[in-house]
Amino acid sequence: MHTRKIGPFEVSALGLGCMNLSHAYGTPPEPAVAAGLLLQALDLGYTFFDTAALYGFGANETLVGNTLKDRRSEFVLASKCGMQGVDGKRVIDGRPETIKQTCEDSLRRLQTDVIDLYYLHRWDKTVPIEDSVGGLADLVKAGKIKTIGLSETSSATIRKAHAVHPITAVQTEYSLWTRNPEYGVLETCRELGIGFVAFSPVARGFLTGKLRDVSNFEPKDIRRAMPRFQPENYAANLKLLDGYAQIAAAVGCTMAPLALAWLLARGRFVGRALVDGIVHLPLVMPPVVTGYLLLILFGRNGWLGRPLPYACHVVDRGQDRFERLQVRVEVGDDRDAHGQRRRLDRRGRAPSPPPPR
């Protein structure tokens, strides 16, 4: 498998996101099945495994630890803190003392002496980012973790954190369907020499082409709460997949590998994916195919919206009104939001992101 660099680590270009082996997308597989998939991934050359204290409220780290402890030297291990389960509920807590205790708990569950890459899963906005990263820096000094990462943070927050301690990687959702990082985050990572890890690169199943009916999601499936997976919105998005399926057939692969190839062709990123088990990626994305994909998914004269192209509405920042457009945009307080619409050029390329405000 091809490899890419994340800080001091050489890892497989596709990592294994372990989250839905324990929760998120309906009933997880039986432990024996999940363990078998982890071992199969390692045997096939996956050398980057991603888990978190939040996933299954510790169950995912326990699964990874029990399964891979005897092969710990064969892969780079990433986990996350700052968001975990407390009394059965998800809690965001970025206080340094909480981060340090979470790390101790993770080390015990993972059955390892050190975590290679430790992300702040979410920025706790009640705690200055400098304080949270300071707590992580203490863990580096103590030898508990080797490097520090951030997840779902803006360019401005990345810069503040990097000034306290070098940030090795930023992890954010990125795919043909979710383009948020193109508004500043990717450029900031390039400028500062920070690795970028894309999660949900096949759009939580959408870009596999196999998820046709979203009305039967299980009660605990996190996609039930996402607007783009609401039946009316999803039906509109499914219409975009016909042309995409034709391109995949012409290239000679199924939809999921094509989505991953598109992502890896965008830059020296690392994809984090788990799609129907192990994904094989035997193709290289020609530039002309990249352009066609943009044209198919967004239309020759379509808009590229920020950050989630739902084919429905735009939610304007700070306003309660809705405006009919071709995309829906949801803006978080800690994301690079410009509220600007951008046209594709004739080759399917988007203009450079606007400068920070």
List active site positions. 55
Q: Are β-strands 145-151 and 83-86 bridged in parallel, bridged antiparallel, or unpaired?
A: unpaired
Q: CA of 179: how far to CAs of 115, 266, 321, in Å?
A: 29, 12, 23
Q: Two tokens at 185? A: 């985050």
Beta strands in the chain (DSSP E): 3-6, 9-12, 14-17, 48-50, 76-81, 83-86, 89-92, 115-120, 145-151, 169-173, 195-199, 270-273, 303-304, 313-315, 322-324, 342-343
The crossing angle, in degrees rounded to 10, of helices 241-251 and 287-298 is: 160
Q: Two tokens at 143? A: 């030898």
* Residue pointed to by tokens 């301690």: 165
C-alpha span between 89 and 77 (Å, rounded): 25
| Angle ∠(200,203,204) on CA atoms, nearest 5 | 75
- Are the CB atoms for 42 and 15 separated by under 8 Å? no
C-alpha span between 163 and 153 (Å, rounded): 15
* Residue pointed to by tokens 């939580």: 204
